[in-house]
Amino acid sequence: MTAPADDAVRLDTVTEVTWTQLVSASGLPEGELRELVRYGALVPRDPDAPTWTFESRWLVVARTASRIRHDFDLDPHGVSVVLSYVERIEQLQSELRALRARLG
Amino acid sequence: MKYKDYYAILGVKRDAAADEIKTSYRRLARKYHPDVSKEKDAEEKFKEMGEAYETLKDPEKRAAYDQLGRHAPGQDFRPPPDWGREFAQGQGQGGFDDIDLSDLFAGLAGRQARGGMGGGRRADRSLAGSDYEAVVRLSFDQAFNGAEIDLELSALEWAPDGGMRRVPHRVKTRIPKGVTDGEKLRVPGKGGKGAHGGPDGDLYLDIQVEAHPLYRVAGLDIHVDLPVAPWEAVLGTSVNLPTPVGAVSLKVPAGTRAGQQLRLTGRGMTRGGSAGNLFAIVRIEVPTVVDDGQRALFEQLAKTSNFNPRAQLDQEAAR
């Protein structure tokens, strides 16, 4: 008998993850991730809530933060600045894809 | 196990101070990071540098590395017996063959997380499994329709004797409909096994979608070129247009211009409850070979038509 397949789930604005899940997925120390939230690089659904929850798309950002932190040996502020450039690059890439799709 | 000279990889001497190692790594990271580098083999070099820095920046791991002795890069070697007692508790003497140097130091990192190297290891402390990441290449059809795929990864895991070992890690997973190139997905609980009651890690999938010869995707929308003859564009026509779910009849209105987008609502990618559109982009193709009769017809049209496609240019040129 073959094992059943597991669902791969989207990381989007609909599904939600807890702070603990975000910390665990990022691989960053909790204090550094909290600093990234303070700099606005990660945004909880309700920043004033006693327990933070996040749209699951932030898992991708948190993991990117961890990779940048590790690859360039940066502090959390440096990571937050690079993340803003990464976001801008992704927006431009998306616009480029849309233009290429239209123009052929 | 093959030896790697971490000091040479980072371009520092064996007695380099911690600051010197850090500076050298940062300089090389700027040069070889695969996101920005145009250097040949940047990805491979960056991976080696990361592995070297991960070990040498940590005093405990650096000491452990130094005690492996000096060997030629690429040379097969085994850690000395007393090294196993001091640093790799539980790494059975037969346990070095199927792992590489980076695995060995990943194992030491795990031991540090569990309570430190060199004694005092709390073997019963729960430890979450590692997250894994894998690239998944899908055809356009798989991305459009969703797909069930089998993945086989090589995973590093804790052996029952407390050492590290590489094992095949097979995962069967369902990819949802409508994934796009560059998207990331998560398969919860399909990463590395947790230890002593710790949760299993997750598997992250980096989706790559192969280009399709006809369809180009942007978000949920699909674009397809629709070549039409000049007289079809002028007079209008009806064409059979292929779509990912089968051909449809599409009306090309009279007076259609080149580059015009004819929209088929809801015929794009579907994701959850949303569906994108399919856009047929009109390309006006001209015959490159015409016979005498056709040439005569075009010449007659040229004489009788007062259509000027360059009216605006003519106005500018007349200034």
Integer-rounded Cα Rg, in Å, for chain A is 16
Chain A CA closest to residue B262: A102
> Does residue B121 have a pLDDT over 50?
no
Is A34 near chain B, with CB under 8 Å?
A: no
Q: What are phi and psi of A10, to 5 degrees?
A: -75, 150
What integer is the mean pLDDT of B112-139? 70
pLDDT tens per residue, range B202-237: 999 999 999 999 999 999 999 999 999 999 999 999
Q: Which domains does chain B have, with CATH numbers?
A: 6-114 (1.10.287.110), 132-209 (2.60.260.20), 216-311 (2.60.260.20)
- Assign a CATH topology to domain A16-103: Multidrug-efflux Transporter Regulator; Chain: A; Domain 2 (1.10.1660)
53-72 in chain B: CB under 8 A from chain A: 53
Residue B128, token pair as written in the block: 């979450």
Helix (H) / strand (E) element for B270: namely strand B270-271
Rounded Cα distance, B257 and B273, in Å: 33
Nearest to B185 among A8, A73, A97 (CB): A8
Residues of A in contact with B34 (CB under 8 A): none
pLDDT of residue A3: 77
Q: What is the dihedral of CA A34, A36, A41, A44, to 10 degrees?
A: 0
Question: Given pLDDT bands bounded at 50, 70 and 90, which one contains residue B116?
Answer: very low
Chain A CA closest to residue B176: A8
pLDDT of residue B240: 96
A contact test, residue of B169, B186, B263, B269 with most A CBs within 10 A: B186
Residue B40, token pair as written in the block: 């040949």
What integer is the mean pLDDT of A6-34? 94
Residue A36, token pair as written in the block: 């990234």
Query: In a 3-state reduction of DSSP, which class is residue B159?
Result: coil
Task: Read off the pTM.
Answer: 0.83
CA atoms within 13 A on the CB side of B283: 10
Question: What contacts B46, CB < 8 A, 6 or more positions away?
Answer: A71, B29, B32, B33, B34, B37
Nearest to B188 among A9, A63, A102 (CB): A9
Nearest to B157 by CA among B199, B114, B103: B103
- A50: closest CA of chain B, how far (Å): 24
3-state secondary structure chain A: CCCCCEECEECCCCCEEEHHHHHHHHCCCHHHHHHHHHCCCCCCCCCCCCCCEEECCHHHHHHHHHHHHHHHCCCHHHHHHHHHHHHHHHHHHHHHHHHHHHHC
Query: In a 3-state reduction of DSSP, which class is residue B20?
Result: helix
Nearest to A9 among B25, B148, B186 (CB): B186
Chain B CA closest to residue A64: B184
Q: Are B202 and A81 in contact (CB under 8 A)?
A: no
Question: What contacts B119, CB < 8 A, 6 or more positions away?
Answer: none
Helix (H) / strand (E) element for B55: namely helix B42-56
Question: What contacts B189, CB < 8 A, 6 or more positions away?
Answer: A6, B199, B200, B201, B202
ipTM of the complex: 0.92
Q: Are A42 and A86 in contact (CB under 8 A)?
A: no
Is B183 near chain A, with CB under 8 Å?
A: yes
Chain B CA closest to residue A94: B218
Is B45 near chain A, with CB under 8 Å?
A: no
